[in-house]
Amino acid sequence: MLACAGFGWHFVGRHFHAAPGEQPSPVRLALLLAAGFAVILAAGSGFAEIAEEIGYGGEVARFDDVLAMSLAANVGQDTRRIFAAITRLGDPSTLVGLAIIVAAALVAAGYRRLAFGWLAALAGNALLNYILKAVFERVRPVHDPSFVAGTGWSFPSGHSSGAIVGYGLLSYVLVRLLPRRWHLPMVVSAAALAFTIGSSRVFVGVHFASDVIAGFLSGGAWLAVCVIAMEFARHYRRG
């Protein structure tokens, strides 16, 4: 959270935001491109490292099993119910509803290009996650379906990547539109919410920890790509 706060204050608040009518400067775009490239490179490398070790006998797979057994033995029912409620914020139905509401609000306010970018980013992440799941075909951990019933393949976590992209991009949209004093709260709140939603998947037992981390990484990389694309589109449109 401290890292996200620092990033939000220094980069998002001071470099990536342009006031209404102001064209994003080449310095801002260069900083955005460098930061985005670093995020994509780090996320891609981390994802690859995890993917290599999730097979039977791999270090990540052994860690997942130990952590899952520990949580099953030590996390109480009330705690699981709390996380089961939190995890609904990352459900596909929740994100679809959020996508429609935000897109409609942006169109009504006259931000049609921003609405298109918002919808394209969410749809692209959903497609990316579907493809990755089909590639790895990792079976979900055995879990109690009375809290949350997980279906489909496990790796990477769609709730984790969806939360990173959905709420992360929402904070980007709000940074574009709201006064500067709201920028830091928006970035930190989005990071906290996405992290909590992803973590909830482990506590309710429908994902291994590595599934969630991989979802954060794939979602973070896609979010970086989308933000860079939207900023460059804004720059060249005004140019």
Burial state string for 66-81 with b = 16 or more CB within 10 A and e = fewer than 16: eebeebeeeeeeeebe
Does residue 118 contact residue 172 with C-beta atoms inside 8 Å? no
Closest to 163 (Cα-Cα) out of 135, 122, 133: 122
Q: What is the maximal distance between C-alpha atoms in the chain?
A: 59
Question: Which active-site residues does the annotation give?
Answer: 159, 207
- Which is nearest to 229 in space by CA: 29, 28, 19, 70? 29
Placement of tokens 């940074």 in the chain: 175
